């Protein structure tokens, strides 16, 4: 089993040699998908325009049909389970550094409140909204084939417009972060980012609170209000993502994974994994046919 960890490797599965900081699909039918889950190191917006797809995201299964879109941030783990013969999607991949060139606020995307599930959102909308997203994606595809003096800036502007349209849809339908103060929202975003960057070394709430120069009590309050989860739950979710990725690499033993993730023993890692997935690491590997 192969785990695709970046945009280039993912697209190479389809014989697409993409070395730019963004990629826009044609919307043509796709008949083959990687069997393995892959962790994205880029942002993605996918809009289903025909047919159906069953997709697994961070180990949760979703059935997606027309007028449904997925918006996902880096670190999201995706696996295509099943697609109908008439399945079509328009999709955009882009690198955050490309989009944020000349922009000082590194959390501008997160502040749009488009990631309801931590690192992704799935939403079904009306024909009009879905058509608007597809129209912008088609315009983006057209502009990406040009080589003008301001082409890159135009592409950035279109991507921002897409994200804002997605934010309008999600915030209108799901009311994410109502009336939350900007300072508290920034703290939650910084906490989430710190955990993603340091999950293999640190798992205690107090340590992250210290790094953010706040009390653990205040951090718990802010994270709970922003996400509906405790900091411990956020840490465990991100740790579980790392576990899935590492278990997908057959060259690493379960004991080595336990060591890398700072567990005292393989048994302790096994108890953690089973608590959150209802199966042991070895059972997960057997189910996914991952031979170590």
- Least confident stretch, 9-13, 65-69, 161-165: 9-13
Kindly list the domain boundaries of the chain, sorted by start residue. 7-174, 182-287
Between CA 6 and CA 71, with CA 168 as vertex, the angle to 5 degrees is: 20
Q: Which long-range contacts (CB under 8 A, 24 or more apart) does 156-163 make?
A: 156/98, 156/99, 156/101, 159/22, 159/92, 159/94, 159/99, 160/99, 161/136, 162/45, 162/92, 162/133, 162/136, 162/137, 163/45, 163/71, 163/109, 163/112, 163/114
What pLDDT score was predicted for residue 6? 56
Q: What is the mean pLDDT of residues 152-156?
A: 91
What pLDDT score was predicted for residue 16? 63
* pLDDT-based confidence at residue 158 (cuts at 50, 70, 90): very high
pLDDT exceeds 60 at position 179: no
Main-chain dihedrals φ then ψ at residue 215, nearest 5 degrees: -75, 155
What pLDDT score was predicted for residue 5? 52
pLDDT exceeds 70 at position 43: yes
What pLDDT score was predicted for residue 101? 80
- Least confident stretch, 1-5, 37-41, 57-61, 94-98: 1-5
User: Which residue is associated with the tokens 């997925």?
Assistant: 70
User: Domain spanning 182-287 has what CATH number?
Assistant: 1.10.10.60
Average pLDDT, the chain: 83
CATH architecture, range 7-174: Sandwich (2.60)
pLDDT exceeds 90 at position 267: yes
Collapsing DSSP states into helix, strand and coil, what is residue 181?
A: coil
What pLDDT score was predicted for residue 208? 92
Q: What is the mean pLDDT of residues 114-126?
A: 85
pLDDT exceeds 70 at position 14: no
């Amino acid at each position: 089993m192969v785990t695709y960890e970046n945009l280039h490797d993912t697209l190479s599965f389809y014989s697409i040699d993409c070395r730019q900081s963004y990629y826009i699909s044609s919307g043509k039918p796709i008949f083959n998908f990687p069997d393995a889950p892959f962790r994205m190191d880029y942002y993605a917006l996918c809009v289903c325009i025909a047919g159906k797809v069953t997709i697994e995201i961070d180990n949760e299964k979703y059935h997606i049909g027309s007028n449904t879109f997925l918006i996902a941030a880096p670190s999201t783990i995706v696996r295509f389970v099943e697609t109908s013969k008439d399945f079509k999607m328009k999709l955009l991949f882009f690198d955050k550094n490309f989009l944020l060139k000349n922009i000082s606020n590194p959390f501008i995307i997160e502040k749009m409140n488009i990631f309801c599930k931590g690192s992704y959102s799935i939403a079904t909308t009306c024909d009009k909204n879905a058509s608007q997203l597809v129209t912008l994606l088609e315009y983006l595809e057209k502009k990406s084939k040009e080589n003008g003096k301001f082409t890159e800036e135009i592409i950035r502007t279109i991507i921002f417009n897409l994200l804002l349209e997605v934010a309008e849809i999600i915030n209108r339908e799901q009311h994410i972060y109502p009336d939350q103060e900007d300072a508290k929202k920034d703290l939650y975003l910084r906490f989430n980012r710190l955990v993603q960057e340091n999950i293999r070394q640190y798992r205690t709430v107090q340590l992250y609170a210290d790094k953010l120069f706040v009390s653990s009590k205040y951090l718990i309050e802010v994270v709970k209000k922003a996400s509906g989860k405790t900091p411990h739950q956020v840490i465990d979710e991100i740790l579980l993502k790392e576990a899935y990725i590492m278990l997908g690499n057959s060259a690493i033993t379960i004991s080595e994974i336990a060591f890398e993730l700072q567990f005292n023993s393989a048994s302790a890692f096994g108890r953690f994994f089973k608590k959150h997935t209802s199966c042991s690491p070895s059972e997960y590997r057997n189910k996914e046919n991952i031979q170590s």
